[in-house]
Amino acid sequence: MWNGYVMRKIILAVTLISTLIFSASICAAKDIWVDHRQSEGLDIYVMDDTITAGDNRDYFSVSTKMIKNGNLSQVVVWKFSKYGEDMWRYETDAMDGTHTTVVIPQNKVFEYCMNRLGWSYKIVDNMWYY
């Protein structure tokens, strides 16, 4: 009933579709939930595929999604940096760009990225990341 040519076309089509579906699921970007800010009603998700870092382990950046009531409220780009023996600092694209701010312990975005990068950090005086 089916000749060899038609069967080969069907098998090829099924194989191609299966490969595309399987490949898309492997390459899909992940948004990782890292924190909930009760006071603002926000859930923060790190866009895992956006983490980029410097070779000297002195800076990295990441994009996050701020979700409020199940809807995207905003995307925020964080830039973390460390100069010499100084503590870790950050700025975001939501800030005015005139200064950086000290990263305070329990910053779940910072901690997730540091762990993902395999970088170590320590908390000093329960106030600063070094």
Residue 111: the pLDDT is 98
End-to-end Cα, the chain, rounded Å: 73
Residue 128: the pLDDT is 94
Residue 17: the pLDDT is 58
Q: What is the spatial distance between Cα 70 and Cα 66, in angstroms, rounded to a whole number?
A: 10
Residue 25: the pLDDT is 44
Q: Residue 104 in contact with residue 97, Cβ under 8 Å? A: no
Q: Residue 129 in contact with residue 122, Cβ under 8 Å? A: yes
Residue 126: phi and psi, rounded to 5, are 55, 25
Q: Is the pTM of this model over 0.85?
A: no
Residue 13: the pLDDT is 52
Residue 86: the pLDDT is 94
Per residue of the chain (130 residues), give pLDDT as tens: 556 665 565 555 555 555 445 444 455 679 999 999 999 999 999 999 999 999 999 999 999 999 999 999 999 999 999 999 999 999 999 999 899 999 999 999 999 999 999 999 999 999 999 9
Residue 3: the pLDDT is 65
